[in-house]
Structure 1
Amino acid sequence: MQINTKQDHTAVVVVDIQADFTQAMQGSLAVGGADQAYLDATETETRRLKSLGYPIYTTQDWHPANHISFFSNHDNTNPYDLIEIEGRQQVLWPPHCVQESPGARILMDESLFTAIVKKGMDPAFDSYSGFFDDRKKETGLADILKGSGIKKLIIYGLATDYCVKATVMDAIMLGFEVTLIKDLCRGVAPESTAAGLEEMKAAGVDIC
């Protein structure tokens, strides 16, 4: 399904289209299928949606070098290990999207965006969602959207099974209606991507 007309009170949220998450840039945490063709498709559609009159927002992972999610900050661990920290589970990732590094760069023309919302800046908490970190501290995205009268969101980006899903589920929890453009998302793993899509669908997300 292609969105061809402007819907009232609707905005677009592009999730984490950043160098470290893409194969095209040989990123440290590259998502399968996030190649140059994918980047071209996302930018083309983002420009088209902007031309229809939609305000476009984006999230940006923006981690300090000592971030809790980096396996290199924990002794005797490997990338993708799952550990427990203060009663919560934490996936350990390769260092990625470090503040001011080339890998944190957004791979789109930043003039497309009404606002860029940074997340994951607290070294002690991960932040998959564009709305909250793991301790439920707000990023400010919800206030920006609600302050602009936004009630519906069109969401796509990286990665389906982590930051996209977390952003979508928090958007639903906050009362937004959500359309997910599946073809403009890529996931870390097939199994978790399929499960994430089912979870979002069950929550009432319109997946197109």
Structure 2
Amino acid sequence: MARALFIIDVQNDFTEGGALGVDGGAAVAAAITEHVRRHPDLYDVVIASRDWHDGDNDNGGHFATDADPDFVLTWPVHCVAGTDGAEYHESIDTGLIDIHVRKGQGVPAYSIFEGTTDDGRSVPQALDELEVTEIDVVGLATDYCVRASALDALQHGRSVRVLRNLVAGVAAESSEAALSEIATEGGHVEVSTD
């Protein structure tokens, strides 16, 4: 039995000044790094996801290329592979990350479970190999990718805890709704003990 930390999409395009910047994103990035440094023995593995979209197409309709984005199913171009926007925010200490996951390569993807590790494994494969039964979820954005990742972790039979002081969302109402949904589905929403 092992515990993992999921760091979800703490990338330049999702923090202030990015293509889809979330208010408080930079502060969350710094707080996540501090959390991991303060608790070096809390996690057996730290797994971080990044949107890693193709830049030469609409990514399965994910990018609004012919019309204005609706910010529900279609979005402005963001996190294009190899660009600064797709990189981790500078406050994330990448030396603390054990496994990197890329998602959204040519298709819409919100959950870390839709991605693959740098060595080609699925996230469930990596979790099973490491015997991960408990997952803490932090990152961006609460109401989209954090929500989807936490719900998928629950569906894959893991115990899930979202650390509410280490997430930031697009909007307060939808973020609270996401946290409530996670709790209703059996997850825990707590404040980290830093």
Using structure 2 for the length normalisation, give the TM-score: 0.87
Counterpart CA distance in 2 for 1:81 and 1:44 is 31
The answer for unaligned runs of 5 or more in structure 1 is 1-7, 83-90
> Which segment is superposed worse, 168-177 or 190-199?
190-199
Task: Select the residue among 179, 182, 193 that pairs with 2:175.
Answer: 193
2:126: which partner in 1?
A: 144
SS in 2 for 1:178: strand
2:157: which partner in 1?
A: 175
> Does residue 113 of the first structure (1) align with residue 106 of the second (2)?
no
SS in 2 for 1:131: helix
Tell me, yes or no, if the aligned pair for 1:9 and 1:150 is still in contact at 8 Å: yes
2:10: which partner in 1?
A: 17
Tell me, yes or no, if the aligned pair for 1:61 and 1:119 is still in contact at 8 Å: yes
Which structure carries more strand by proportion?
A: 2
Report how many residues are paired.
Answer: 181
Q: Based on CA coordinates, which of the two structures has the bigger radius of gyration?
A: 1
1:132 CA displacement: 2.3
% same residue = 34
1:4: which partner in 2?
A: none
Tell me, yes or no, if the aligned pair for 2:47 and 2:97 is still in contact at 8 Å: yes
Counterpart CA distance in 2 for 1:151 and 1:169 is 14
Instruction: Compute the RMSD of aligned alpha carbons.
Output: 1.8
1:139 CA displacement: 6.9
Matches for 1:73-152 after TM superposition, within 5 Å:
73=65, 75=66, 77-82=67-72, 91-107=73-89, 108-121=92-105, 123=106, 125-132=107-114, 140-152=122-134
Tell me, yes or no, if the aligned pair for 1:130 and 1:139 is still in contact at 8 Å: no
Runs of 4+ in structure 1 deviating by more than 6 angstroms, as ranges, are none
1:49 CA displacement: 3.1
Deviation by residue 1:56-103 (Cα, 9 ceiling, x = unmatched)? 1111110001122111x2x2x212355xxxxxxxx1111110000000
The answer for unaligned runs of 5 or more in structure 2 is none
1:28: which partner in 2?
A: 19
Deviation by residue 1:128-161 (Cα, 9 ceiling, x = unmatched)? 000027xxxx971111011111111011100001
Return closer, same or farther for 1:49/1:141 CA change in 2, 3 Å cut-off.
farther
Counterpart CA distance in 1 for 2:36 and 2:75 is 28
